[in-house]
Every structure is written in C-alpha cells, then in structure tokens.
C-alpha cells in the first residue's frame, strides 16, 4: 500500500511539473511557419516581470511572423540575429492576446530590451487582439 502511494505521488508530481514549459520553448511551433533567420547581429531581449508565464511573438513591419517563444515568469529570453526592420511585439498573457502599440526599430548590430510588467496605468500601451490575429502567419 505504501509503495503504491509513493508511486502515485511520483507520477502526479512529475505530471504537474511537465505541464509548464521552459523558457525558450517553441510552444506553438505547429501553428506558425518556420522562424525567420537572418544574420544582422541585432537582438531583442524579452524580460518577463509579471507573475505568470507568457508567450511572446515578434512580427516584421508588414506584420509577418518572425519568431515566437515561451518565457517563464521572472525570466528572460533574447531573440538574436533579427532582421533589420520595425518590429511588432505581440504576447499571450493568461487567456488574452495583446500587441504593443509602439514599434521597435531594429538596425544592424543593435541590442534592445523589452520588459513585460503589470502596471495598470500602462494598459493603454497595449491593444487587445484576437486569437486569430495572434496566430496568423
């Protein structure tokens, strides 16, 4: 009986842990095209300072998909070798989808940082978008 309880505890705890991704995972790889690859040495560091995990998506100036990534709370991820363009940043936060109103301009060799944090006074910096908008190629 005791061995059965220990075995059940191990299985349940491993399943609970496996539900959460790791920073850098391509959570929706089956719903997006391949990541765009360039050699511009430009980068964009994404810092997740909110109390939950997010999925971040970057699009070019024509709103075409470039890359996406899963970022755990209080963690960061750097998109490297981004194309020289204006970037739109979209993200999935809990069950909602958002787009940042500001464009990030990427030039050759530049390093940018984008911080995600919850500040009710800054909610006007984001546009709520639909799931369809988020997942379009």
Q: 83, 82, 68: which is closest to 32 by C-alpha?
A: 68
What residue segments make up the domains of the chain, in order of their start?
22-135
Residue 17 has pLDDT above 60, yes or no: no
CA distance 136 to 124: 24
pLDDT of residue 33: 84
Q: 28-62, pLDDT tens digit by residue?
A: 888 888 887 777 888 999 999 988 999 999 999 99
With b for 16 or more beta-carbon neighbours within 10 A and e for fewer, the 115-135 pattern comes to: ebeeeeeeeeebeebeeeebb
Kindly tell me the burial class for residue 18, based on how many C-beta atoms sit within 10 Å of its own C-beta (0-12, 13-18, 19 or more). Answer: exposed
CATH topology classification for 22-135? Immunoglobulin-like (2.60.40)
Q: pTM here?
A: 0.77
Q: 78-125, pLDDT tens digit by residue?
A: 999 888 889 999 999 888 999 998 888 888 888 999 888 766 556 678
């Amino acid at each position: 009986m005791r061995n059965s309880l220990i075995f059940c505890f191990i299985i349940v705890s491993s399943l609970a842990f496996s539900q959460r991704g790791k920073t850098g995972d391509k959570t929706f790889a089956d719903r997006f095209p391949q990541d765009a690859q360039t050699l511009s040495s430009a980068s964009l560091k994404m810092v997740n300072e909110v109390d939950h995990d997010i999925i971040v998506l970057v699009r070019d100036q024509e709103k075409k998909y470039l890359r996406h990534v899963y970022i755990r709370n209080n963690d960061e991820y750097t998109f490297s070798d981004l194309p020289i363009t204006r970037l739109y940043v979209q993200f999935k936060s809990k069950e909602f989808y958002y787009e940042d109103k500001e464009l990030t301009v990427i030039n050759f060799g530049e390093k940018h940082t984008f911080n995600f944090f919850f500040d009710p006074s800054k909610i006007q910096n984001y546009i709520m978008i639909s799931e369809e908008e988020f997942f379009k190629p």
